[in-house]
Amino acid sequence: MSAVIAVPQVGLIGQSTVRRDGVAKVTGQFAYGVDVRLPGMLHAKIRRSDIPHGLLRRVDVSRALALPGVRAVITGDELPEYRASRYIRDELILAKGSVRYKGEPIAVVAADDPEIAAEAVRLIDVEYEPLPVLSDPEQAAQPGAPLIHPEWQTYWANPVLRRDGNILNHTTLLRGDVEEAFAQARHVFEDEYDTQIVHQASLEGHVAIASVDLEGRVHVVSSHQFPYGLRQDIADILHLPLGRIHVTASGLGGGFGAKLYASVEPLCVLLAERTGRPVKIELSREEELAATSPRMAARVHLRTGVDSDGHLLVRQGVIYYDAGAYSLSSPGTSAVGTLMLPGPYRWQALQIDSYSVYTNKTNCGSYRAPGGPQATFAGESQIDRIARELGFDPIEFRDRNAVENGDLGPAGQVLTGVSLRKTLQVAKERSRWPQAQDRPSRPGVRRGRGVACNWWTTTSGASAAVIKLNDDGSIVLSVGATEIGTGAVSAGLVQICAHEMGVAVESVQIVSADTDATPYDFGAQGSRTTFQNGQAIIRAARDLRQQIFALVAPGLDCETDELEVHDGHVYRRDGTGRAVPLAEVARLGQTVGGLLGRGSFTAPPTPYDPSTVKGHTYPAFNSPSFHTHVAEVEVDTETGEVTLTGYHVAQDVGFALNPLYAAGQVTGGATQGIGYALMEEVQYRDGTVLNPNFTDYKLPTIRDVPTIDVALVEEPSEAGPYGMKGVGEPAVVAPAAAIANAVYDAVGVRIRSLPITAEKVLQALRSRELEG
């Protein structure tokens, strides 16, 4: 049974192993949701509202039904009250009686091919009675503003929310004596900031296929980040038993938070039930940009008091987040803003009010670090202003006020694993701050450097894992987690499993993201996938190892605690080299019905002071991480053009499980943040999107982004696997503020609205000249 071999030294943790799906993706063999084809499949298109707000007077589908190849048409009038959303059930899946944004679904058509479906949609006649359009969230929040949802009080809503008319939720954070702190302040600074709506811009948009079997069971294949959440959404919306729904996540061509909620899937199910055939909906780029769930715009009013020694005392802020026409995730997203506006600094007192407000725009949703970039742009821009006007170096000022272990977060949580000062020092060294920058590239150009800091959370939520030992000693890992392109599943979870089971990563096969075949997971969101699933895998591996050791110990003449597993073998720890191959253990395991390890994990809730918050859905950050960004720019004083010449990120990752992919996530997040800062905007005029395509919606290209210098800072968490913290989201938060601060350093003007376009910079420069 046993053999004597050399004991290898195996350690996969902290190594840059290769992701399992990489070859398929770079060779074009990977299957995304858009690639799914089923026999007899129909194609569906959506008839959308032509106006941003109005009453529906007539929806005539007769011409569409008469078109050859059309198999079904469904309108809202045919359906019960099928309402969507997890915070407030305020949105019908097909409009009935009124429409509240341009692009809202009114009817859906299934046909033999996409072209016939599109033509049928054009043949649906709709008559409207226009109503006033509300575009500004601050104005919409005022008493007496026209109500976008006159019946808002009849909707089911999460009882935590504080609602009133167009206000979906009013979150307050109040700590300390604000009036007394302002009375003590030597300096008081007041500013207003605006941010824009931006889109996740996944290369693959929303796509889903639904089919119904002979027993009436529904199978949905969707490009979705949260299969179990989608299953629950479909059950809630369509009033179906949960057990009748099977959801499988297809390969995802990007998500970034846009694919966390039900969108087209319920419509696919209704059409599949009506026609008896599989039905696919694939949104166009125009539909994605005009009618899905982008990041909310925000207006921030900010007032901050500082003492004579440059210590921050008090911050008072009001944030108006633009929710769009329906709630989706906005009540929770806006609540997060109350934790982000204070930044990672010490305060005697805080008063932050955050409003999520209905407007006549597409309903906004989650986008990488939801709620964070808006508040951080405002908060860190003003921190920079304070530092410079009081004569402090911007990095030294932040260091002076930085939180440390044992300090309180905004809502009273006791902070641990704090690394802000460490990231400030690393960023300072990597950017050679405050050494003089290189000469400008040409006359009329000035160089500047800016810094910004932020903190962020690691979202909790349950995860489970099952590990099976195959007869040949290989491993099958089963998790509910979805691989959304980050490598969290295809690299990180495989790596943890291989490490814990003592096998090569090539020996681990993974089954994931299927509500029938895999255990529960709370979804690919909130930088949680590797953190939560990793701990579940560690527990499942521990369970499986104990079963393995119990089988092997008698044959190796030792106790179970004297054994370890490496390189596909079980060894005695005494160094004798006696070992049993895992394949042989698996055959032994057949006598007991096979060997399966099970594990689950939910990070414990972070304690906070509940007396400090009202209307809050996310009052504390779990296993928080801390970050510093430095941007280097050139600004052309003749045109206002801003060119990013250098970018440095010091990101606290807790522990770098896979440094290659951790750095990749930081690079990707920072790149999205650069686009947010300089060019991206879903442009609205009177409720209509003006740029619903990639020609007019500007995204950063390789020419716009310099090489991003990434430093992975390791300050271990208490709850994460091997001390890990969430990695995916934080890097998108700080770039807008860092770049705005760099522009000020270069040319002495502060841009307080995003994006920072050449036109805005040039206008600010000319206004300064006129004032001078």
Locate 280 and state its tokens.
């696919």
| Half-sphere exposure for 1 (CA within 13 Å, toward CB) | 13
Q: How far apart are CA 426 and CA 173, in angstroms?
A: 32
Q: How far apart are CA 333 and CA 519, in angstroms?
A: 27
Bigger pLDDT: 202 or 575? 202
Q: Answer yes or no: is pLDDT of 5 > 90.
A: no
Q: Answer yes or no: is pLDDT of 85 > 90.
A: no
Q: Answer yes or no: is pLDDT of 2 > 50.
A: no
Q: What angle do CA 98, 129, 51 make, to 5 degrees?
A: 70
| DSSP sequence for 267-299 | HHHHHHHHHSS-EEEE--HHHHHHHS--BPPEE
In order of their start, the domains of the chain are 9-30+460-601 (3.30.365.10), 33-131+206-252+259-291 (3.90.1170.50), 366-377+387-458+616-771 (3.30.365.10)
Q: Answer yes or no: is pLDDT of 4 > 80.
A: no
Q: Answer yes or no: is pLDDT of 475 > 80.
A: yes
Q: Give which of 93, 110, 101 is closest to 49, Cα–Cα.
A: 101
3-state secondary structure labels for all residues of 340-403: HCCCCECCCEEEEEEEEEECCCCCCCCCCCCCHHHHHHHHHHHHHHHHHHCCCCHHHHHHHHEC
Locate 623 and state its tokens.
């296993």
Write down the pLDDT at residue 439: 85
- The identity of residue 276, as a single letter, is G
Number of H helices, E strands in the chain: 18, 32
Binning pLDDT at 50, 70 and 90, where does residue 772 land? Answer: low
Q: Answer yes or no: is pLDDT of 9 > 70.
A: no
Burial track 618-648 (b if 16+ CB lie within 10 A, e otherwise) = bbbbbbbbbbbbbbbbbbbeeebbbbbbbbb
Q: Answer yes or no: is pLDDT of 10 > 80.
A: no
Check if the beta carbon of residue 440 is closer than 8 Å to that of residue 606: no
Q: How far apart are CA 27 and CA 727, in angstroms?
A: 27
Q: Is 609 exposed, middle or buried (0-12, 13-18, 19+ CB in 10 A)?
A: middle
- pTM, to two decimals: 0.97
- The identity of residue 236, as a single letter, is D
Q: What angle do CA 659, 662, 667 make, to 5 degrees?
A: 120
Q: How far apart are CA 202 and CA 256, in angstroms?
A: 8
Check if the beta carbon of residue 642 is closer than 8 Å to that of residue 634: yes
Q: How many residues would you count in the chain?
A: 772
pLDDT 10s digits, 479-491: 999 999 999 999 9
pLDDT 10s digits, 71-80: 999 999 999 9
Q: Are strands 708-713 and 642-652 parallel, antiparallel or unpaired?
A: parallel
Q: How far apart are CA 34 and CA 191, in angstroms?
A: 46
Mean pLDDT over 445-474 rounds to: 98
Q: Is 223 exposed, middle or buried (0-12, 13-18, 19+ CB in 10 A)?
A: buried
pLDDT 10s digits, 419-433: 999 999 999 999 999
Other CB atoms within 10 A of residue 569 CB: 25
Q: Answer yes or no: is pLDDT of 8 > 80.
A: no
Check if the beta carbon of residue 130 is closer than 8 Å to that of residue 54: yes
Burial track 290-311 (b if 16+ CB lie within 10 A, e otherwise) = bbbbbbbbbbbbbbbbbeeebb
Write down the pLDDT at residue 7: 30
Locate 116 and state its tokens.
């016939």
Write down the pLDDT at residue 148: 98
pLDDT 10s digits, 177-229: 999 999 999 999 999 999 999 999 999 999 999 999 999 999 999 999 999 99
Q: How far apart are CA 373 and CA 732, in angstroms?
A: 7
Q: How far apart are CA 659 and CA 661, in angstroms?
A: 6
| Residue 16 DSSP class | -
Q: Answer yes or no: is pLDDT of 105 > 70.
A: yes
Q: Give which of 201, 210, 292, 290 is closest to 250, Cα–Cα.
A: 210
Preceding amide of 434 cis, omega within 30: yes
- The identity of residue 606, as a single letter, is T
Q: Give which of 119, 758, 654 is closest to 422, Cα–Cα.
A: 654
Preceding amide of 755 cis, omega within 30: yes
Q: Give which of 457, 470, 468 is closest to 719, Cα–Cα.
A: 457
Give residue 539's region: left, alpha or beta (phi > 0; psi -120 to 50): alpha
pLDDT 10s digits, 328-386: 999 999 999 999 999 999 999 999 999 999 999 999 999 999 999 999 999 999 999 99
Q: How far apart are CA 184 and CA 306, in angstroms?
A: 8
Write down the pLDDT at residue 771: 76
Q: How far apart are CA 629 and CA 455, in angstroms?
A: 12
Rg value, the chain, Cα:
27
Binning pLDDT at 50, 70 and 90, where does residue 762 land? Answer: very high
Q: What angle do CA 668, 671, 676 make, to 5 degrees?
A: 130
Rounded (10°) angle between helices 735-747 and 758-771 = 40
Q: Answer yes or no: is pLDDT of 685 > 70.
A: yes
CA distances, 317 to each of 276, 334, 346, 382 (Å): 54, 13, 16, 12
Binning pLDDT at 50, 70 and 90, where does residue 634 land? Answer: very high
Other CB atoms within 10 A of residue 437 CB: 20
CA dihedral for 154, 159, 165, 166, sign (positive or negative): negative
